[in-house]
Structure 1
């Protein structure tokens, strides 16, 4: 299925294509790095949604295998839980819903996404190009990456700032200083080193002292394996009786269950489709930019595959899926786009789903370690948007390009929200809508010469870009 890259020899500046692979030992190492990148979000977001994280991790592996099969292994991606759904879950619960009505509403979101993908597949990628030209896609990729900045600044980094700073320096040093394969898995090596440093810090300096909002002082270990010691080696998520579920209860994390369908919950959830289309489109565009391949013919397949994977996951009580921005950062750092590594990551995730203890070990990764790693990864994702602009010669001296990108990026990065009934639309979704809507509004009201100048820059790139591809 995968061609062995350069007889297994990885040169320093080589790029490994999606349909190629390294030796299986190295491929497994890269797969482990993708697991590291996706695991925190795949585990945490379902927990915040009142859904079972063990089940979510298992279904993320199944969803990834489905996605790779549908896109014929040409679009490397990992599919996991999305932060976009956390606000939806809160709104549905506040309106009297339960996890079954939540997964039912999100099943419909997956169905709609699947239908959009089918339309794009048959109508052609030109539909996307007209709606999402380079200035828009660059802005969407940028705001997706930089929207993750508050996760670093507000969640991971403050727990132990100096340790996070040290881990960040380790990531920088290993990513730039190491050569060959070891440089490609610098993120994973940084996590292992950071994990060990955190344990040593506990041994040498003792637990961290934390003061709560009420003035209560508590001690907290950097590496806490309490959950690991209590976890079983093998086991499936429980089947949950929702008759006993109560919103806000400490036991509100549910396991396997069938979805239920509520019109009110569906209406609350539907706007998230915008975010999913943007995330998938941005992902395919970013991968195409990195691999220098034309992936537009697979755009519809990718979106439809994510929709089908979301339907499959929500049908058993897990959260829906989306292509992972975190793993774009791993690919950008390693320059290895082999889908074989993603298959390894998917299989590992499925195995995690059968073993609570392994999930507990990964979830015990110190927040400071995640902070040091993600501060680099998330920034790399955002800057891929700037790379799209540069490669497409986007002219920001033209207000048709400047104004929509400026407004959308600030909304996305600042996580600006607008209320729509009981639902708040904000962040990536609102930033994407504003960027697209304001761009097309600007084109509609701009003088003809201004529009032609904006189109001319893009057309020039298209001709040059095709010529460049032919030469390669």
Structure 2
């Protein structure tokens, strides 16, 4: 491990002429992934930007300005949001996000009282790893449908042009991931979307009418007030008790679909905190504590549910920016959050995002959803899970087949425990009742606080 002095420590304020540039780096790092989630789930990308900004500011406040982490749209919730939206619309998805936020709060409370050992018993790697694999594989058909078929058709209509655009987008994303160095290596999604968009434009499948309308409104503004009105637009917020009544939407079906994924993302959040601790050189699992960071994540998700955005989570891309730049200042992270909020209110940004062809997003998603599945496999490898043990083989096998196969339990006419949620629940139960629970933890590193040589001004890069 190499060790370097921090360019800016956690609570240092950058000079004004550098502040904007440093914050924009974080914005670019999270932008592609954050807008992809609402694009796939039918939510508003502008609302996702605003909710990620407010969520990050709330997170920084709750962690008392000690953890430099940016929060963006969570990929783990793509599947449950899509499924809930089919039956209950966006309002149902927001109620589900609110319930997920409550789970974060409950887990944070339990950790503050009992520590993390109980969470390790409930969600060891042998359960979480296969569930993450199921999340990635369960979304595979969504990516392929977006890549291959004409959008907006009642039946699937194959399009060679769209599939070619998707493959070019995928190729650009892969090249950016493998061959780009330094900060640019953290932006493969953004490069893929931009490159794919340019190629799609040459193929005539980019609808620029919304962009043209925004431009016409700006150029035709006859006064400063008119210009500001043309530039800034109110995002399509979905606010509880204003746009819908939560009590009319809430159901056990929504709870069973959304809550299990909150438990999985909490485990992922813990992993991010461990990596972040190693990068910055401060043990964030002890100070301010895992309970504070999980609570901050939950409040960010709660804020998103009150605005109409997807649940939020800490972003590995932004942790990578910290590692490369050695700028750990929470003020830089806060600046990125403020810029994201402003971008969410700019109509031209929304118009450009809405003009991105589904084939482009499909091409990016092929890689991203595969990476999600592979990260579950990596969790099993990193924790040295022994599949020579029958109980481990059984737990993983049952989770994979139930989750990917789409099994469900029909509780009532309206309540159904399906797919990934059912797989997660059964996986937890099997792990608790089968003998040899310690074998499902592997080396047990997932919840162990990293031992740091120095608690100040150090960065650790493998």
- One fold, TM greater than 0.5? yes
The alpha-carbon deviation at position 289 of structure 1 amounts to 5.5
What are the within-5 Å matches in structure 2 for residues 363-378 of structure 1? 363-378=354-369
The alpha-carbon deviation at position 18 of structure 1 amounts to 12
2:38 matched to which residue of 1?
A: 42
What RMSD, in angstroms, separates the aligned Cα atoms of the two structures?
4.2
The alpha-carbon deviation at position 187 of structure 1 amounts to 3.2
Query: Unpaired segments of 5 or more residues in structure 1?
Result: 9-15, 203-220, 240-252, 444-449
| Kept in 2: contact 1:107–1:314 (CA 8 A) | yes
**Residue 424 of structure 2: which of 432, 438, 441 is its match?**
432
2:210 matched to which residue of 1?
A: 227
What are the within-5 Å matches in structure 2 for residues 44-443 of structure 1? 44-45=40-41, 47=43, 54-71=46-63, 72=65, 74=67, 76-80=69-73, 82-83=77-78, 84-92=80-88, 99=91, 103=94, 107=98, 110-159=101-150, 160-202=162-204, 221=205, 223-231=206-214, 232-237=230-235, 257=242, 260-262=245-247, 265-271=250-256, 272-285=258-271, 288=274, 292=278, 297=286, 298-315=289-306, 317-319=307-309, 321-323=311-313, 327-328=315-316, 343=334, 345-421=336-412, 422-443=414-435
| 1:425 aligned counterpart, secondary structure | strand
After superposition, the Cα gap between the structure-2 partners of 1:349 and 1:25, relative to the gap in structure 1 and judged at 3 Å, is closer
After superposition, the Cα gap between the structure-2 partners of 1:423 and 1:176, relative to the gap in structure 1 and judged at 3 Å, is same
1:210 matched to which residue of 2?
A: none
2:226 matched to which residue of 1?
A: none
| 2:203 aligned counterpart, secondary structure | helix
| 1:394 aligned counterpart, secondary structure | coil
* Residues in 2 aligned to 1:391 and 1:39: alpha-carbon distance in whole angstroms: 30
After superposition, the Cα gap between the structure-2 partners of 1:467 and 1:259, relative to the gap in structure 1 and judged at 3 Å, is closer
After superposition, the Cα gap between the structure-2 partners of 1:181 and 1:133, relative to the gap in structure 1 and judged at 3 Å, is same
* Residues in 2 aligned to 1:177 and 1:281: alpha-carbon distance in whole angstroms: 30
Q: Normalized against structure 2, the TM-score is what?
A: 0.73
The alpha-carbon deviation at position 193 of structure 1 amounts to 2.0
After superposition, the Cα gap between the structure-2 partners of 1:333 and 1:177, relative to the gap in structure 1 and judged at 3 Å, is farther
The alpha-carbon deviation at position 414 of structure 1 amounts to 4.3
The alpha-carbon deviation at position 226 of structure 1 amounts to 1.7
| Kept in 2: contact 1:117–1:301 (CA 8 A) | yes
Query: Unpaired segments of 5 or more residues in structure 2?
Result: 151-161, 215-229, 455-459
| Kept in 1: contact 2:431–2:440 (CA 8 A) | no
The alpha-carbon deviation at position 274 of structure 1 amounts to 2.1
Q: How many residues align?
A: 410
| Kept in 1: contact 2:197–2:360 (CA 8 A) | yes
| Kept in 2: contact 1:65–1:343 (CA 8 A) | yes
* Residues in 2 aligned to 1:41 and 1:462: alpha-carbon distance in whole angstroms: 26
After superposition, the Cα gap between the structure-2 partners of 1:289 and 1:143, relative to the gap in structure 1 and judged at 3 Å, is farther
* Residues in 1 aligned to 2:20 and 2:402: alpha-carbon distance in whole angstroms: 43
CA-to-aligned-CA distance 1:233-286 (integer Å, 9 cap, x gap):
2122478xxxxxxxxxxxxx8899265342772434322222212223223325
| Kept in 2: contact 1:118–1:301 (CA 8 A) | no
Q: 404-413 or 22-31: which moved more?
A: 22-31
| Kept in 1: contact 2:193–2:361 (CA 8 A) | yes
* Residues in 2 aligned to 1:149 and 1:419: alpha-carbon distance in whole angstroms: 25
After superposition, the Cα gap between the structure-2 partners of 1:169 and 1:85, relative to the gap in structure 1 and judged at 3 Å, is closer
* Residues in 2 aligned to 1:377 and 1:105: alpha-carbon distance in whole angstroms: 24
The alpha-carbon deviation at position 38 of structure 1 amounts to 1.1
Q: Normalized against structure 1, the TM-score is what?
A: 0.72
